[in-house]
Structure 1
Amino acid sequence: MELNFKHILTASMVLFAVIDIIGNIPIIIDLRRKTGHIQSGKATIIAGVILTVFLFIGQSMLSLIGITVNQFAIAGSFVLFFLALEMILGITLFKEDEENAMSDASVFPIAFPLVAGPGSLTSILSLRAEFDALNIVIAILINMIIMYIVLKASAKIERLLGQNGIRILRKVFGVILLAIAVKIFTTGIQKIFE
């Protein structure tokens, strides 16, 4: 295991775009209104644990059911593609079950599946195929720190950026996420046919 700052930066940016904690500020604010409060620390720790555990055992889980990392990455690229379309076009393709929204929003839906959802888990495995685990763990840690700060300051961030600022950020990260989805898809296809 060796530290590579370029890999840490790349992995951090990929996870930041996929998790899209800034773009999810409107959802977080809405959940805070419905539930009264969000436990920022609890949500951050649970999301970080899910991502880190999946980094180390995700590939074994997939092998157990006969799926390769490249196949999972290709499937995940479709999820990322549709998430990016949601962000860019302002449409909703994925419907969340709001039945349990009033219980503990810190765990569901913030920690899972908003942060540690299909997109970020797919990205973790895709990054694992390219980068050293230590660099990805540091990237996860960086993103969890950002997530904690954003959760704590979501109301202030909303006032600072305004609705238009949040919409613009969401669209910019949508385009970045779309490019990442295409890259993951093409890399996965190339590796399958090698």
Structure 2
Amino acid sequence: MNFNFKEIFTAFMVLFAVIDIIGNIPIIIDLRKKAGQIQSEKASIIAGIIMIFFLFLGKSLLSLIGVDVNSFAVAGAFILFFIALEMILGITLYKDDEGDAITASVFPLAFPLIAGPGSLTTLLSLRAEFEVENIIVAVILNVILIYIVLKTSSKIERLIGPNGIKIIRKIFGVILLAIAVKLFAANIKMLF
């Protein structure tokens, strides 16, 4: 085991920015109103399992369809770039259907809101740079934080307020934009 606090912290912050659980509080509250209740434990655990599964098998799945990790990382950089633009500019470039209220804890909450294209792409990109055990710790820490946020979303909304949530989204959007640029620059070199 090669645990590195810096790698764990960096991976944690990157995943935290991509998942944007704080910025998704308005969506979570809306889902809670429509579904009546969200199973926080179920949503958190399923999202964690999807992310760890993809961390280990994502590269094999990509090889199966003939895509290398660097190409996927460059594509991921574009996804992160657009997610960051959505966060910074307050626009919606991608809109998904709400899904059935009965399964709101799994879809759209666990997937694709938490463990979506952005976080899965980020995991593969992180795997190219960091040790797997450090990424797993970062995923687990994010799942714990996701669970806490899901459990306390109403209290967080009252505490931070709508403007506080907007400010947090913009800050993490700028961080995510910088990460996307770095990811693109690092992996585009490997393609040529």
User: Shorter-chain TM-score: what band?
Assistant: over 0.9
Q: Which residue is equivalent to 2:79?
A: 79
Matched position secondary structure for 2:143: helix
Matched, 1:177 2:176: yes
Q: Is the 8 A contact 1:31 1:101 kept in 2?
A: no
Determine the C-alpha separation between the residues in 1 that align with 2:5 and 2:85.
30
How many residue pairs get aligned? The number is 192
- TM-align CA RMSD: 0.8
Equivalent residue runs for 1:154-173 within 5 Å: 154-173=153-172
Distance in 1 between the 2:182 and 2:117 partners? Answer: 17
Corresponding residue for residue 145 of structure 1: 144
TM-score (norm 2): 0.98
Residue 42 of structure 2 aligns with which residue? 42
Q: In the TM superposition, what is the alpha-carbon distance from 1:101 to its structure 2 partner?
A: 3.6
Who is 2:64 aligned against? Answer: 64
Output the CA distance in 2 between the equivalents of 1:79 and 1:14.
14
Q: Work out the CA distance in 2 between the residues paired with 1:187 and 1:103.
A: 42
* Partner Cα distance (2:117, 2:23) in 1: 17
C-alpha separation in 1, matches of 2:100 and 2:77? 28
**Paired-residue identity, %:** 69
Contact persistence 1:11–1:136 (CA under 8 A)? yes
In structure 2, the residue matched to 1:111 is 110
Give the ranges of 4+ consecutive aligned residues of structure 1 lying more than 3 Å apart after TM superposition: none
Using the alignment, how far apart are the partners of 1:105 and 1:83 within structure 2? 22
1:104 offset after TM fit, Å? Answer: 1.4
Look up the match of 1:5.
5
Please tell me the residue identity of whatever aligns with 1:142.
L
Cα deviation digits, residues 55-97 of structure 1 (max 9, x gap): 0000010011110000001111111111111111111110111
- Amino acid corresponding to residue 171 of structure 1 in structure 2: K
Unaligned runs of 5+ in 1: none
Residue identity matched to 1:108:
F
What residue identity is the alignment partner of 1:36?
A: G
Whether the 8 Å CA contact 1:8–1:135 is kept in 2: the answer is yes
Unaligned 5+ segments in structure 2 are none
Whether the 8 Å CA contact 1:22–1:150 is kept in 2: the answer is yes
